[in-house]
């Protein structure tokens, strides 16, 4: 009888000890979920009113240059009555082939930092039928072909412009162009008339991003793994080499 009572006491103590441990585990899991949710919410809320991002952009027409394709003139925008570039909400360009993204109002921040704001400030209109800008006129997708394939309007996005490969974009958008979001500093966008899935070139201003957003140097990471040397190099070819003093 005493032994049974003793075993009952042990079981009760285990339950008492186990309950607080369970509570602690639930709290830790809950904190982790909250932290992840907060991080996602913070990412979705950017760019904020204190951010100043930059993206490279270009306009490409595959039907230009006798079907070889060519970049079009960059957007110049217009001046407001005070003589400054027209920029109602803080997403614009300085005629430099870069999109400057520093929202002035909440209407152009977070999920509302979209391509439509840029088009508005540069007086550009774009839909599936074509794009219109005073700098180059009208580029029409109606009946357009390149390399024997139908050409369509699209926006090609590379998330990390400084390390991007033209043939490996992160996203292609074929409709609702105004809703395309600016998601981070250092993106690249080519607004193109080209066949679906065709390789379109990166903007020529990609390398200018470091000059305006020095923090993007973090995107230039070293490749993983050991460095491999080419053993086929001819030692007799003139060049810079380090002599072994030993």
Residue 189 has pLDDT above 80, yes or no: yes
Q: How confident is the model at residue 246 (pLDDT cuts 50, 70, 90)?
A: very low
Query: Apex CA 34: angle with CA 32 and CA 37, to 5°?
Result: 110
Q: How confident is the model at residue 13 (pLDDT cuts 50, 70, 90)?
A: low
Mean pLDDT confidence for 14-34 = 55
Q: How confident is the model at residue 56 (pLDDT cuts 50, 70, 90)?
A: very high
The per-residue b/e assignment along 174-200, b for 16 or more CB within 10 angstroms, e otherwise, is: eeebeebebbbbbbbbbbbbbbeebeb
Which of the four pLDDT bands, split at 50, 70 and 90, describes residue 21? Answer: low
Sign of CA dihedral 170, 185, 117, 113: positive
> For 83-99, what is each residue's pLDDT tens digit?
777 888 999 999 999 99
Tens digit of pLDDT for each residue in 195-240?
999 999 999 999 999 999 999 999 887 455 454 544 554 555 443 3
- Quick check: 4 pLDDT over 60? no
> What is the per-residue pLDDT for 44?
57
Q: What pLDDT, in 10s, does the model give residues 114-125?
A: 999 999 999 999
108 is written with which tokens?
């152009």
- The CA-atom distances, in angstroms, between 17 and each of 5, 12, 24, 29, 236 are 18, 9, 11, 19, 76
CB 174 within 8 A of CB 194: no
Mean pLDDT for the chain overall: 83
Q: Are 191 and 59 in contact (CB under 8 A)?
A: yes
- Give the DSSP letter string of 143-155: T-EETTEEEEEEE
DSSP 87: -
pLDDT of residue 220: 87
Query: What's the Cα-to-Cα distance from 101 to each of 49, 51, 117, 236, rounded to whole Å?
Result: 10, 8, 10, 52
Contact status, residue 101 vs residue 113, Cβ threshold 8 Å: yes
């Amino acid at each position: 009888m005493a032994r049974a009572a003793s075993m009952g006491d042990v079981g009760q103590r285990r339950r008492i000890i186990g309950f607080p441990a369970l509570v602690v585990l639930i709290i830790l899991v809950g904190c982790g979920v909250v932290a992840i949710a907060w991080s996602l919410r913070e990412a979705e809320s950017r760019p904020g009113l204190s951010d100043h991002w930059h993206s490279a952009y270009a306009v490409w027409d595959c039907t230009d240059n006798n079907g070889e394709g060519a970049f079009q003139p960059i957007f110049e925008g217009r001046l407001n009555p005070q003589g400054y570039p027209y920029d109602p909400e803080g997403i614009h360009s300085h005629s430099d082939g870069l999109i400057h993204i520093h929202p002035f109002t909440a209407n152009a921040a977070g999920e509302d930092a979209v391509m439509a704001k840029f088009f508005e400030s540069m007086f550009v209109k774009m839909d599936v039928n074509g794009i219109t800008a005073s700098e180059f006129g009208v580029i029409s997708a109606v009946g357009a072909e390149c390399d024997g394939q139908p050409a369509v309007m699209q926006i090609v996005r590379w998330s990390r412009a400084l390390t991007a490969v033209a043939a490996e974009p992160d996203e292609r958008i074929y409709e609702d162009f105004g809703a395309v979001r600016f998601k981070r500093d250092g993106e690249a966008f080519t607004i193109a008339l080209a066949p679906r899935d065709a390789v379109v070139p990166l903007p020529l201003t990609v390398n200018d991003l470091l000059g305006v957003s020095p923090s993007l140097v973090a995107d230039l990471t070293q490749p993983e793994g050991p460095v491999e040397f080419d053993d086929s190099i001819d030692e007799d070819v003139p060049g810079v080499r380090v002599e072994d003093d030993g």
